[in-house]
Structure 1
Amino acid sequence: MSALPQKIYPVVDTAEWVNRLGAAGARFIQLRVKDYAPDKLLAEIRQAHQYAKQHGVCLVLNDYWQIALDEGIDYLHLGQEDLDTADLAAIRKAGIRLGLSTHSHEELDRALACNPDYVALGPIWPTRLKKMAFGPQGVEKLTEWKKLIGDLPLVAIGGISFDRLPACLDAGADSVAAVSDFTQHADPEGQVKRWLAEADGGLTQP
């Protein structure tokens, strides 16, 4: 099982954030775009993909598996509900790597049956950015998940700030995702550099 591209994993909602954070050193970025008209959505994803290639970023597209197929995106991130409709065989045939969200043992079992390239557990702490059906998981659950999945990479997400990064890594997360700690920070580029330094250089080799 290949390692993830980086120990830090910003989640952003525009192509410009891929440009800014990629230029600052982030190499593993998820684009999570919501409520765009189809033409604008495709243009935004294409622009993000262009910026990703420009900066050497491994781009992860949230949800839109058909566009990921059409555009040759590196990674796809799907929630449990997306598994009901996504064509996993086509995704695999295209060589797109797959990350899956999990919140419970049942969801983890379902995710592992799909042979993903990573699983995400969340929310680790309470988050206001997204309505969640599940309460905070806590860092102890990261340790439990890591024991269950072995060499499969584990992503921590949900309510994570710079100060909470070390606890997630120590608990077993291979990469740590955050939204507002980057995009709502006064100095997003500087925050990327802080996260990378705290994550012991950030880079891991596949």
Structure 2
Amino acid sequence: MTRYNSTILSESLKVYFIMGSMNCRKTPEEVLSEAIAGGITMFQFREKGPESLIGEARFDLAKRLQQICRLNSVPFIVNDDIDLAIALDADGIHVGQDDQPARSIREQIGENKIVGVSAHTLKEAQQAIADGADYLGIGPIYPTTSKDDAKEVQGTKIIEELRENGLTIPLVGIGGITLTNAIPVITAGADGISVISAIAAADDISGTVGNFVRVVREHILELRRLEA
């Protein structure tokens, strides 16, 4: 048993906000609070890259952001730091292909936590599922400047390929997603979208999130109507 079954988890992935201090023009606490007010469904703490916090300052920020999430019943996920995830008793962890394999992560973090894995090919996705992943982050869908280590742009074809091969695990698209290009990601078969800069750098964070939520949910409802 994992903490969230696939139906609940797919709902939590609808508008998945990823952020660290280096992504913010306001304080991270303000950015996260405004994003939650707008309706984000999950949050990932990703403190990586130039000018990112380290040591005690990083831990303290993570703790403060986790408290904001807990007060608002938003799942709090840690990016690629199993020690931090365990120390905080985070809701889960997300790892990439160059990080520890999901099987090792699962053994350390336990069965009642969320384990997300980035996948760029069908083979990687199948291995992640076999290793115990609860959801997959697929991308980068579009060009992105938020990640220095981003892989080659995939477009939506990889999401379509995973679904065509019978993978039913919750999927979230990531990489360069904006209000103007989010719909094809959902049409391809993703359960939701992951967003960094389009939310963190927005002038109206709450309003921008609200628009993402509306676009995603309305399009999912339309797809269900067409399939009925």
One-letter code aligned to 1:89: E
Task: Give the TM-score of the pair, scaled to structure 1.
Answer: 0.89
Match of 1:90 among 108, 116, 123: 108
Identity of aligned residues (%): 27
1:148 aligns with 2:172: no
Contact 2:183 2:219 in 1 (8 A): no
| Other structure's SS at 2:181 match | helix
Task: Give the TM-score of the pair, scaled to structure 2.
Answer: 0.81
Aligned to 2:37: 23
Structure 1: unaligned runs, 5 residues or longer: none
Change (3 A) 1:203 1:37: farther
1:77 aligns with 2:81: no
Distance 1:133 1:167 in 2: 20
CA RMSD of aligned residues (A): 2.3
Match of 2:15 among 8, 11, 15: 8
Q: 1:31-42 alignment to 2 at 5 Å?
A: 31-34=45-48, 35-42=52-59
Aligned to 1:59: 76
1:187 aligns with 2:204: yes
Deviation at 1:203, TM superposition (A): 10
1:162 aligns with 2:179: yes
One-letter code aligned to 2:107: A
Aligned to 1:198: 215
One-letter code aligned to 1:22: I
Contact 1:7 1:203 in 2 (8 A): no
Q: 1:93-104 alignment to 2 at 5 Å?
A: 93=111, 95-104=112-121
Contact 2:121 2:158 in 1 (8 A): no
Contact 1:8 1:202 in 2 (8 A): no
| Other structure's SS at 1:164 match | coil
**How many pairs align?**
203
One-letter code aligned to 1:88: R
| Other structure's SS at 2:137 match | strand
Contact 1:117 1:153 in 2 (8 A): yes
Deviation at 1:12, TM superposition (A): 1.1
| Other structure's SS at 1:11 match | strand
Contact 1:79 1:100 in 2 (8 A): yes
One-letter code aligned to 2:15: I
Deviation at 1:65, TM superposition (A): 1.2
- Cα deviation 1:148-181 (Å, max 9, x = unaligned): 3532100100111111111111110001111111
Contact 1:6 1:202 in 2 (8 A): no
- Cα deviation 1:8-60 (Å, max 9, x = unaligned): 11111144132221122212111111242210111011101100011221111
Distance 1:187 1:133 in 2: 27
